[in-house]
Amino acid sequence: MNTTPLPLGPTPSERLNRARADLRMGLPVVLTGDGAALAVAVETLSPARLMALAALGPLTLALTARRAETLKARAYDGDLARIRVPKDADLRWLRALADPADDLMTPLKGPLQTLREGPTDLARTALALTKSAHLLPAALLAPLSGPTPEGLTTLTCTEATRALTSEATLAPVAAARLPMAAAGMGRLHIFRPDDGAEEHYAIEVGTPDRAVPVLARLHSACFTGDVLGSLKCDCGPQLDAALTQMGVAGAGVLLYLNQEGRGIGLANKMRAYSLQDQGFDTVEANHRLGFEDDERDFRIGAGILKKLGFSAVRLLTNNPAKVRMLEANGITVTERVPLHAGLSRHNAAYLATKAAKSGHIL
């Protein structure tokens, strides 16, 4: 008789997804590593929970080095800064440091006391979790020396980092024929990652031959451009142009990856748009929010291509970084096919910034 217990408990990857959901709801999660702490996202923190956390001991605010640079706070830890939270700090003070919306109206928020000694693993993991939850990358940490509060999700820094940096396993969920105005008859495939994140889609145009490089496009979801026809970017026209080109060629594959706003999520993308209204370019806006230029995971696209049986592509892109990322993940790119569409007076400055700062070939 097999006496091995059934694995009914959550795996580290599943607990990671629980932690994302908890942070989005304003619940703290328990992180253990070099010590232990309760970590909560500043964006969703409530006054009542702030008061409860403050009762546990000195609070620390973790910010990315990008956000710290805007605040003129020293990032002694390299990629992050740990700010000592004053005892009288309230939620308004914390959110002013986390959210750059009102930076120009209240530019002086200091002096800020930055920690330069002690372990950084708890703060670094907390920031990575808030990013993966598509929240502002700002986390409040309270020391935990007693028993773990009942019902909270617990993660070690090691297992959280491993789960966050591991390549998700993508499972095919469903596929069906789909006639399209731009590309003619095709087939839509749905892929679901095992880490509980958003599903991704592959649109197969015609019947591509797996033995030759396929005309391919990695297209990141853009609700504003693809659905609303926004003129601030060129995403919608590029999507249509790519499908049309595949239809003319008679075959192709377009991956529609749910990595809105270059991986920061739609809410943060709208925050970046608001900053652009204040005069910052797209890269500067991302940095002021605390993000890097591009937070996308291109391993997802390479993984889907492999699942579909493609090993070589002719890539429709103006971004050489996509070529390098695909090749680094086992997909041969035999040709970069330019995709010029959607330039207008509304997005000329945006596209110029992508060319100057992100290396796009326009």
Neighbour order of strands in the sheet with 138-143: 114-115, 80-84, 60-64, 138-143, 35-41, 29-33, 154-156
Q: pTM of the prediction?
A: 0.91
Does pLDDT of 1 surpass 50?
no
Report how far residue 240's alpha carbon sits from residue 217's, in angstroms, rounded to the nearest whole number. 11
pLDDT (tens digit, 9 = 90+) per residue, 293-349?
999 998 999 999 999 999 999 999 999 989 999 999 999 999 999 998 867 787 778
Percentage with pLDDT > 90 across the chain: 81
Residue tagged active-site, from 294, 314, 324, 336: 294
User: What would the mean pLDDT of 20-33 be, rounded to a whole number?
Assistant: 97
Which residue would you say has higher pLDDT here, 9 or 75? 75
Give the pLDDT band (50/70/90) at residue 275.
very high
pLDDT (tens digit, 9 = 90+) per residue, 116-170?
999 999 999 999 999 999 999 999 999 998 888 899 999 999 999 999 998 888 9
Residue with tokens 């990322």: 325
| Lowest mean pLDDT segment, chosen from 200-204, 215-219, 293-297 | 293-297
User: What would the mean pLDDT of 37-62 be, rounded to a whole number?
Assistant: 97
Does pLDDT of 6 surpass 90?
no
Report how far residue 315's alpha carbon sits from residue 215's, in angstroms, rounded to the nearest whole number. 6
pLDDT (tens digit, 9 = 90+) per residue, 239-263?
999 999 999 999 999 999 999 999 9
Report how far residue 89's alpha carbon sits from residue 193's, in angstroms, rounded to the nearest whole number. 40
Sign of the four-CA dihedral 164, 170, 174, 175: positive
Question: Can you give the pLDDT at residue 299?
Answer: 92
> Is residue 296 annotated as part of the catalytic site, yes or no?
yes
Residue tagged active-site, from 66, 67, 217, 296: 296
- Number of neighbouring beta carbons within 10 Å of residue 341: 17
Q: What b/e string do you get for 162-182 counting C-beta neighbours within 10 Å, with b at 16 or more?
A: ebbeeebebeeeeeeeeebeb
Give the pLDDT band (50/70/90) at residue 2.
low
- Number of neighbouring beta carbons within 10 Å of residue 327: 14
74 vs 113, 132, 292, 350, CA distance in Å?
8, 24, 18, 30
